[in-house]
Structure 1
């Protein structure tokens, strides 16, 4: 067993060096988001009475509880301040650790680098062990920095330490999920899909438990985030659940790793036909073939989420007494739908980034050169990638809107406007993010990794500027800040046209640079 771990320290140092930018930026963004939320709470709710009223209003709406989680102690300032951070934004934290672990396990195997490294003085289990050690180190740093930031913002020290431990535990569990997914799947794309589906199940179990049978939330690590009661008489024993589950997942991953061949997965990849279809000679058909499964899975996922959130959105009326005017209820419902759409837009931005990342990995592995050696030109190849990224993202936002409309109508919610149009309002902002990712890829393939941090960074810009009342120009750096909050607000043609113009400019520069630089 010792020989199997030889080289773990060296690979851990290499992983930390490779991830120094994306990990540092992402952790800084998450910590800043917590600090801003904690610092803004005292200004928004100056006394205990205001905090209790707000907390009771949140708990009184099944829709908001399903989205953010409940506040178990309505008198706790920390519980109120960290409402969104405890569960909803912990999902982005989990995504970060999935990306990092996948990068150093399944992606390395798929590219053949693990086999090359294994030819030296590196043990069979060292890559998985190194990815796990890196995850532990980064989770620890994230937890400590979060605790320090929350304390500096004025929250209770003990509660801040507990909350930091909750976030660190969430990252560890996500790393364990990614480690298992890397052994089960035979490709990086399938690995990411398995891990994302698992986290989505965690979120749904938590939502069901928080709005229905309470025991269900205990079946989800995201449910533990709330049940730990970080800022309300912390249940310190709950914090032990995270490392126990992580150890179990990593143990399962190590066992599966010992039972499969290098480069393969527990679920074997389906072999293709002996002869390829002549249609695959077309760059667009090839791109659709490559991304078709991912598009189908994303479509199913956003459709289900859209319907679910559409069905719980009318519950926002529970915030108000029956005598309150209907238009106020409608406005609150529109605000909740806009909040749901903003989160979906950030998530769908990652689909566009993943398409660009696949193009980068194809170039790094030499597959792009093979395609360009045929009659396919650079322009046609890049155009296919751009179309899949942009049209695919637009399609997913459309499906989200349709799902919201179906769910909302099914529960007889009050008329708050066209939810499909509200979803489409976010498409230009998503395209701006895709344009930035493509620009990074066109400048240098390795820079595509920065694209994974863009959606989260822009979300932080939007929220932090609003919470801390910073200069508006800082918030304007995020494309998400320019999207009209339809249906709570009116459609803004000027803002939409501006975002489309920025996206077109980014794509134009990316196109020009890609056609000029060397491949590989």
Structure 2
């Protein structure tokens, strides 16, 4: 009887997996593709940067001697291993980016579907009660295996040890499985998809901090975090194959906890009851712009805190990078990037910041598909003002994040007694026009219709991939020039390029104008 009941609650899970894979046909391949390309690029480039054992040992010792770098990337446990050095950033820092993918996937197909009411509609058919959660986990497992296999193949083709590449691929697969489990538990905590994201982000952040504290202090702390396991596996050294079993074990435990919570709560609710709002709304919420600011205040606060911390950490690392690259061929690479690590850091920050605009645009798109936009437009609020409110929060918010990053870099750089290299806030703002262009492209996708909105998430990753492929395959300049990030001067190492900045700003304004016109002309919903 128990087996029959359990099987019944999972009815339709396979169909939901197929539906989820179709819905994620852009998101998942792009995200996985960028991660794999990053890993392959690092694998292919490192052997040429550090050709001999003495050079690799010197760089590894310099990295391990810097607490700030170890806190960010993790230690290099085997200084003689080219693989350990090549994957130093991928082992922990980029594993966090991989984890985010699986949290997004699980959240999207569990809590978001439940909040929108679609889970209740699906549940009215022959689909079992536990099928949505099971389908999300099944998709996450499939994507984790694909990520691990492609990473292993890519690293091996990039020149790293094949057996070590298999271990590293398994490591990333395990990270994805654990992240899926975290996302599954977070989805049961609150009825709000945003609160679900906050829970998951807090857990990932805590695990990352535990790993950083263990790598720079009491080592036992790093064993409390899956990100700490990533380093301790030693994929390209004396591999601890047994430790790879800890990832699926922890993931299975988290999924079991999520399923037990799911079985004991009402559909549409969360383990933590939602607090009722005030009986009377603020007068500021009567305006579209005021409403947009209020809706995104929490997101802006969390993003600001994250960018401030990253800015301080990277700012503290930058002055000590000379000890690592002095006398090595990596000096030429950094010279090509502008001579300063700050310029390279800001290029990555700009790509990440671009996704903030998409979170704002996507929220407005969800408002439309859920019917809230029609309710707002039924008042005296015009389409133009509704669109302007989204654009203002998205573009002003991402500009603010760049300022926060610049301030954080300045604080960290000064705390590390770095030499004077100019205004880091101005250097961060130099990336604003390029970020505006990607944001305007996302707004244009939304203006074409809600079904086009997910395409907007692909623009930053596509531009980043274009630059990576351009460096790997020496593509013509006009090809890499399609990326707006390619036209930003490497501030603070290079002077401000007014023609490029004005050109990017004009392009962003033109794209936004087209998006505004299209939004005014099309049907809502």
The TM-score range, normalised by the shorter chain, is over 0.9
Cα-to-partner distance string for 1:131-184 (whole Å, 9 max, x where unaligned): 001000110111111111222222211111111111111111111111111111
Q: Counterparts of 2:171 and 2:216 in 1: how far apart (Å)?
A: 21
Q: CA deviation at 1:333?
A: 12
Cα pair distance change 1:439/1:192, threshold 3 Å? same
Corresponding residue of 1:336: 341
Specify which of 284, 291, 297 is matched with residue 286 of structure 1: 291
Q: Which runs of 5+ in 2 are unaligned?
A: 1-5, 327-333
Cα pair distance change 1:303/1:66, threshold 3 Å? same
Equivalent residues of 1:61, 1:318 under 8 A apart: no
Q: CA deviation at 1:17?
A: 1.6
Corresponding residue of 1:179: 184
Q: Which runs of 5+ in 1 are unaligned?
A: 322-328
Q: CA deviation at 1:317?
A: 5.4
Cα pair distance change 1:205/1:337, threshold 3 Å? farther
* 2:184 equivalent to 1:190: no
Cα pair distance change 1:147/1:181, threshold 3 Å? same
Corresponding residue of 2:447: 442
Cα-to-partner distance string for 1:392-426 (whole Å, 9 max, x where unaligned): 11111111221222233334333232221122122
Q: Counterparts of 2:313 and 2:38 in 1: how far apart (Å)?
A: 27
Q: Counterparts of 1:463 and 1:225 in 2: how far apart (Å)?
A: 25
Equivalent residues of 1:61, 1:319 under 8 A apart: no
Cα-to-partner distance string for 1:173-229 (whole Å, 9 max, x where unaligned): 111111111111221122222222322333333333333333332222222222211
Specify which of 449, 464, 468 is matched with residue 459 of structure 1: 464
Cα pair distance change 1:405/1:244, threshold 3 Å? same
* 2:117 equivalent to 1:112: yes
* 2:172 equivalent to 1:167: yes
Equivalent residues of 2:68, 2:313 under 8 A apart: no
* 2:480 equivalent to 1:475: yes
Cα pair distance change 1:320/1:354, threshold 3 Å? closer
- Between stretches 12-21 and 83-92, larger displacement belongs to 83-92
* 2:252 equivalent to 1:247: yes
Q: Counterparts of 2:181 and 2:229 in 1: how far apart (Å)?
A: 16
Q: Counterparts of 1:330 and 1:159 in 2: how far apart (Å)?
A: 31
Q: Superposed, which structure 2 residues align to 1:309-324 within 5 Å? A: 309-316=314-321, 318-319=323-324
* 2:170 equivalent to 1:137: no
Equivalent residues of 1:316, 1:333 under 8 A apart: no
Equivalent residues of 1:59, 1:71 under 8 A apart: yes
Equivalent residues of 1:8, 1:126 under 8 A apart: yes
Q: Counterparts of 2:474 and 2:46 in 1: how far apart (Å)?
A: 12
- Between stretches 308-317 and 186-195, larger displacement belongs to 308-317
* 2:89 equivalent to 1:84: yes
Cα pair distance change 1:415/1:31, threshold 3 Å? same
Q: Counterparts of 1:84 and 1:5 in 2: how far apart (Å)?
A: 39
- Between stretches 134-143 and 299-308, larger displacement belongs to 299-308
Q: Counterparts of 1:200 and 1:335 in 2: how far apart (Å)?
A: 28
Q: Counterparts of 2:25 and 2:457 in 1: how far apart (Å)?
A: 13
Cα pair distance change 1:15/1:154, threshold 3 Å? same
Cα-to-partner distance string for 1:86-131 (whole Å, 9 max, x where unaligned): 2222222112112111110111011100000011112221111110
Q: CA deviation at 1:238?
A: 1.7
The DSSP-based 3-state class of the residue aligned with 1:183 is coil
Q: CA deviation at 1:252?
A: 1.7
In the superposition, the TM-score normalised over structure 2's length comes to 0.91
Cα pair distance change 1:47/1:134, threshold 3 Å? same
Cα pair distance change 1:25/1:316, threshold 3 Å? closer
Corresponding residue of 1:515: 520
RMSD between aligned alpha carbons?
2.5
Q: CA deviation at 1:270?
A: 2.5
* 2:21 equivalent to 1:21: no
The DSSP-based 3-state class of the residue aligned with 1:506 is helix
Q: Counterparts of 2:398 and 2:27 in 1: how far apart (Å)?
A: 23
Corresponding residue of 1:268: 273
Cα-to-partner distance string for 1:209-265 (whole Å, 9 max, x where unaligned): 333333332222222222211111211112112111211211221122122221122
* 2:149 equivalent to 1:149: no
Equivalent residues of 1:64, 1:316 under 8 A apart: no
Cα pair distance change 1:181/1:126, threshold 3 Å? same
The DSSP-based 3-state class of the residue aligned with 2:26 is helix
Q: Counterparts of 1:490 and 1:336 in 2: how far apart (Å)?
A: 16
The DSSP-based 3-state class of the residue aligned with 1:67 is helix
Cα-to-partner distance string for 1:441-500 (whole Å, 9 max, x where unaligned): 111212222233333333333334234433333332322232223223333223322321
Equivalent residues of 1:63, 1:315 under 8 A apart: no
Number of equivalent positions: 514
* 2:204 equivalent to 1:199: yes
The DSSP-based 3-state class of the residue aligned with 2:128 is coil
- Between stretches 334-343 and 235-244, larger displacement belongs to 334-343
* 2:50 equivalent to 1:8: no
